[in-house]
Each structure stands twice: as structure tokens, then as C-alpha cells.
Structure 1
Amino acid sequence: MTRFKGLQELFKRYRRPGDVVFAWVFLLFSVFLLTQLDTQSPWKQGGKIFSQPAFWPTVSIYLMVFFSALHLLSSVLSPRLHGRWGEVWQWVRTLEYAGWFMAYVLSVPVAGYLPCTVVFAVLLALRAGYRQLGTLAGAAVMGVVIVVAFKAFLQVKIPGGAVYEYLPTGLRAFMLTYF
């Protein structure tokens, strides 16, 4: 049987160096959502409070503000950890992949699903540090497999690229259907 060691031991937690930055960002985001409640979640005249469209969003956002304020308070009162900005830089670096995804999404309607998937698979393999020809060829083959699986077998409806309009009629129909 373990002995109770006090509240401080009970609520002890592992902290990351960027914890205080995350706490600030989350609190600011929560307060922003709180300022938007009146315009986004309507309160209807009459009716029970629990059936109001705005009740649960209001409860959740108020709790979000409360708990994010507690998180910030606990982070500020905790000993300072070194390496905060290195941790934050890691978070910012991950946004690069959101940029890759947006570039992919914007290029598919222009160049087509097959060419974009193959090109981006190879580019992301290069970005990840792979340089061997076999690995890059494997990424290209995987791109083709993904396209065939999604378009031919799963029949996911993805619009064809504008470049497909320049293909001969028979080939254009085949590419629009399967690639």
C-alpha cells in the first residue's frame, strides 16, 4: 500500500521546455473563442436550457478558458526550464508539412491526381533525406499504388487535373476514371 505524500507529489507532472509558451497560446486561443460565442452560437427564446444550441459550446469554452488559465498559472509558478525556444522552434518546423499538403491540394486540380501524388511522394522522400535511387523509385511506385487503390479499387471521386483536357479522348477518359 502506498502512502499519501501530499498534494504537491500528487499533482507533480512532467513539463516540457515549451510548456509556458503552449499555455499562453492555448489561453489566448480560448479567450478568442470566448469572444466569438455570441456570434457563433445562438440562444433561442424559450425552451429548456440544456436543449439550447449555445449551452454546451458555452459550457465547454468557459471550461476551456478556466483550465487553460490554471495550466498557465501552474506553468508560470513552476521552475523555469531551459530550451524553451528550441522546443517552440520544433513546433514551428512541423508547419512545413502543412505547407507541403496545401501545395499538393492546390496542384492536384491543375496537374492531376497521379502526377501530383508521384511527384510529391518523391519530393517528400527527398525532403526526409532519402537520396538513393531505389528509395526514390520506391516512393514513386508507392504513389502509383496509392492512386490506383483510391481511384480504381475504392472509387474515391477526385476531380481530374486540367492537364488531362489535353490528352486524346480515349486516354483522357481512362485517366479521369483510374488516375
Structure 2
Amino acid sequence: MLVQVKTLKQLFQRYRRPGNFVFASLFLVLSLFLLSQIDSQTVWKSGTKFLSQPAFWPIISILCMTVFAALNWISAFVSPKIEGRWKEVAFWLKALEYIVWFMAYVYLVPTFGYLLSTVLFAVLLAFREGYRTTKMLSLSAAMAFTVVLVFKTFLQVKLPGGEIYELLPDATRAFMLTYF
């Protein structure tokens, strides 16, 4: 039987995507940051068994995450460079737009209420995604209205009514706060 010996570089070399080195670097930095914060975020209780300590599993998890992040970084470092790294990173950054949309929604719900904010954002996001016909925008508004109806009326989830409801007459305001 023939035994093949590989060098460390051959052992860690693998196929990777263009943005893998950036991802590996960011993940290693995150892992090291979490590892540096472990003392201030967990506790060791006296009189408790070692495996039952509140800090035990978080420390094990973060240590493993850091070791595997370091191995991933080494692997990305020794692999051949693939063109398009920053194009791939720019593609990832496009997803941040939806975080901004969501944060705007969360910010506006206390002002405009759950109903108006949900319908408005459903229509705006449908428009943003390219659904620009009246039929599709109406459908997105109807679906958003249905979601509000299900959550507020049938499931009775307590959601903010919004400052705008204060402008309504008393009977209408009570109805809107209860059902929409």
C-alpha cells in the first residue's frame, strides 16, 4: 500500500469562492472578539460541577468557533487567489439594504401604527423588487392587510397602535387600536 505524504499547504488548500478570504478574515476577527469578551459575559459559580457551569458551554463553543475560523483563514490564505473578491463582497453588501428597510419599518411602526406601516412597506418592497403593476401592488397591500388582520384580530398579538391613531375620533381610535 502506497502512503502519500502531503505538505501543510497541500493539506489546507481547497477550492474556494472569490470572497472566501474576506469572509474567513471577518469570521476570525469576530471569533477572536467573542473570545476576548468571554470573561465579562459568563460566570463560574462556586459549588457547581465543572460541566454544569454556566460558562462552560459558551467557552467550548467560542473556542471551537475560533479554532475552526483560524483553520478556515489558513486554508483561504494558502489557496490560490481567485479574481473577483471585491465584486463578491459588493454582492454581499447589497443585502444590507434590507436591514435598512427593516430598521425603517421598526422605527415607523410606533408613529404610523402596525397596519399603515405594514401595508406601506409591503407595497414599497414589492415595488422595489420590480413588481410594479397595479395588480401586484394591490395584491401586496391585500396580503399585508391580511397579515395585520390575522395577527391583531385573530391571534390578538399586542402590537403598537401608533401615534397617528391619536388623530382619529374616539370610537374609531378604539376600534383601530383593538383590531388594526
Relative to the length of structure 1, the TM-score reads: 0.91
Task: Report if aligned partners of 2:114, 2:161 keep a CA contact under 8 Å in 1.
Answer: yes
Q: Deviations over 1:8-59 (max 9, x none)?
A: 9998855221101000000000000011011000122343211111111111
User: Number of residue pairs matched?
Assistant: 176
Task: Report if aligned partners of 2:14, 2:75 keep a CA contact under 8 Å in 1.
Answer: no
Q: Could you say if the C-alpha distance between residues 168 and 38 of structure 1 is closer, same or farther in structure 2, counting changes exceeding 3 Å?
A: same
Instruction: Tell me what 2:21 maps to.
Output: 20
Pairwise CA distance, 1:68: 0.2
Q: Could you say if the C-alpha distance between residues 50 and 170 of structure 1 is closer, same or farther in structure 2, counting changes exceeding 3 Å?
A: same
Instruction: Tell me what 1:29 maps to.
Output: 30
Question: Counterparts of 1:156-175 in structure 2 under 5 Å?
Answer: 156-175=157-176
What secondary structure is seen at the aligned counterpart in 1 of 2:95?
A: helix
Pairwise CA distance, 1:153: 1.4
**Distance between the aligned counterparts of 1:125 and 1:158, measured in 2?**
23
Task: Report if aligned partners of 2:15, 2:79 keep a CA contact under 8 Å in 1.
Answer: no
Instruction: Tell me what 2:113 maps to.
Output: 112
Instruction: Tell me what 1:149 maps to.
Output: 150
**Distance between the aligned counterparts of 2:174 and 2:12, measured in 1?**
63
Q: Could you say if the C-alpha distance between residues 133 and 112 of structure 1 is closer, same or farther in structure 2, counting changes exceeding 3 Å?
A: same
Q: CA RMSD in A?
A: 2.2
Query: After alignment, is 130-139 or 26-35 more displaced?
Result: 130-139
Task: Report if aligned partners of 2:12, 2:78 keep a CA contact under 8 Å in 1.
Answer: no
Pairwise CA distance, 1:152: 1.0
What secondary structure is seen at the aligned counterpart in 1 of 2:70?
A: helix
Q: Could you say if the C-alpha distance between residues 25 and 170 of structure 1 is closer, same or farther in structure 2, counting changes exceeding 3 Å?
A: same
Pairwise CA distance, 1:149: 1.2
**Distance between the aligned counterparts of 1:89 and 1:121, measured in 2?**
26
Task: Report if aligned partners of 2:13, 2:78 keep a CA contact under 8 Å in 1.
Answer: no
Paired amino acid for 2:148: V
Instruction: Tell me what 1:52 maps to.
Output: 53
Instruction: Tell me what 1:42 maps to.
Output: 43
**Distance between the aligned counterparts of 1:172 and 1:6, measured in 2?**
77
Instruction: Tell me what 1:70 maps to.
Output: 71
Runs of 4+ displaced beyond 4 Å: 5-14
**Distance between the aligned counterparts of 1:29 and 1:36, measured in 2?**
11
What secondary structure is seen at the aligned counterpart in 2 of 1:157?
A: coil
Task: Report if aligned partners of 2:126, 2:137 keep a CA contact under 8 Å in 1.
Answer: yes
Pairwise CA distance, 1:146: 1.1
Instruction: Tell me what 1:136 maps to.
Output: 137
Identity between Structure 1 and Structure 2 (%) = 56
- Structure 1 residue runs without a partner (length 5+): none
